[in-house]
Amino acid sequence: MNFRQKMILTASIAMAFVFGITPVTNAMHIMEGYLPPAFSIAWGAICIPFLAMGYFALKKTIENDRRSITLIAMAGAFIFVVSSLKIPSVTGSCSHMTGTGLGAILLGASSVSILGIIVLIFQAVLLAHGGLTTLGANTFSMAIAGPLVSFGLYKLCTKLKVNKYVSVFLAASFGDLFTYCVTSLQLALAYPSQVGGVQVSAAKFLAVFAPTQLPLAIIEGILSVLVIIGLETYAASELRGIGFLKVGEQ
Amino acid sequence: MKNKKLTVVILLVVALLIAIVPLFVLKGAEFGGSDDAGSVAISEITGTEYEPWFTPVMETWIHGEIPGEVESLLFCVQTGIGVGIMAFIMGRFVERTKQEKLRKAS
């Protein structure tokens, strides 16, 4: 990396700031009080084993190589940045990305649940965005289901020997999209349509979320690839420490 | 290396375009949150206006909705924390790589 590349990185960070300052409205996540109590508790309960797994996975990663803390912080910070940026989409409404795909690719799916819930609590308490009663459902969709898809897809792509950047892009994009599929399903389960039940209802919610999210999923894929490129250039030893790069691989 | 630089630039431009183009193409669109669209869909399905059964804690504390400006401030704080951490770590990595190269050269 030379001076020009550094400039590009700096510029991209500055751009992240610019987007953060655009006027914001409520977008995505299931809103506070919009899930019946029984559903809130059920989704919360489902998350607990994943969170426990995530805690132990993170602990193990750190024990194996203490320097991996920097990468964990990086993945967490990426979720923080990306989930605060509300981006206008082709449907004329705004939504934001999840950012959990990158963490899932680097650290494994369960570890991201811990990072994701930190962001969700921050947004629920301070921003009235998402909510404490819907924390379980939102954690499941954004910090568990999405990362699982990202992780699985990335592993599959590596098995099939797809180009690494393409795999990262696909994994992050589909993880993001899947988050919204799960959100639609969660809403549909709580509000089944009177005619046709859960399926009709799910299709309806999906029709609201999916077109908005599609371009954002692409952006998320691109940003994840950029972070991976940056890390590969400057933090190859850390990436080897967590097993993202094989020993000897450039 | 040259190739990689080009990729980075192209990817950045594409990401920016995807984000910005809708603003110019869809003139007069509201760009509300898809959350609001979600609650509209709920009322369509249930047939009645949905009344949330729990208000966000922050709104209970300050007895009312968070003012728009303050909300954007809080979102910026979130972005700032994230960008700060990323920039700090990236800065350390960059500097370390530079030092290693210098040491190898000497």
Per-residue pLDDT at B49: 62
A11-51: pLDDT as tens digits: 665 555 444 433 333 346 787 878 888 888 898 898 999 99
What residues contact A66, with CB distance under 8 A and at least 6 apart? none
A172-229: pLDDT as tens digits: 999 999 998 898 888 888 888 777 778 888 888 888 788 888 889 999 999 999 999 9
> Residue A29: left (phi > 0), alpha (psi -120 to 50), or beta?
left
| CA A38 distance to own-chain centroid | 26
**Greater pLDDT, A58 or A30:** A58
Task: Please check whether residue B43 touches A, CB under 8 A.
Answer: no
Per-residue pLDDT at A20: 40
The verdict on a CB contact (< 8 Å) between A80 and B57 is: no
Interface predicted TM-score (ipTM) = 0.80
| pLDDT one digit per residue (tens) for chain B, 106 residues | 567 888 889 999 998 888 888 888 777 666 666 556 666 677 766 666 666 777 777 777 777 777 778 888 888 888 999 999 999 999 999 999 999 889 988 8
- The span from the CA of B87 to the CA of A46, in Å, is 35
Q: How many A-B residue pairs are in contact by the CB < 8 A criterion?
A: 231
What residue ranges define each of the domains in chain A, with the CATH number in brackets?
30-241 (1.10.1760.20)
Per-residue pLDDT at A11: 64
Per-residue pLDDT at A207: 82
The verdict on a CB contact (< 8 Å) between B26 and A92 is: yes
Closest CA to B55 of A209, A38, A134, A23: A134
Task: Please check whether residue B10 touches A, CB under 8 A.
Answer: no
A80-136: pLDDT as tens digits: 999 888 888 887 778 888 889 999 999 988 899 999 999 899 888 887 778 888 899
Closest CA to A72 of A115, A34, A36, A118: A115
- The span from the CA of A7 to the CA of A24, in Å, is 28
Nearest to B54 among A16, A125, A133 (CB): A133
Q: B60, B86, B92, B99: best mutation site toward chain A, by most A Cβ within 10 Å?
A: B86
Closest CA to A55 of A110, A128, A130: A110
* One-letter amino acid for residue A246 of the chain: K
Q: Which residues of B63-99 are buried (b: 16+ CB within 10 A; e: fewer)?
A: eeebeeeebbebbbebbbbbbebbeebbeebbeebee
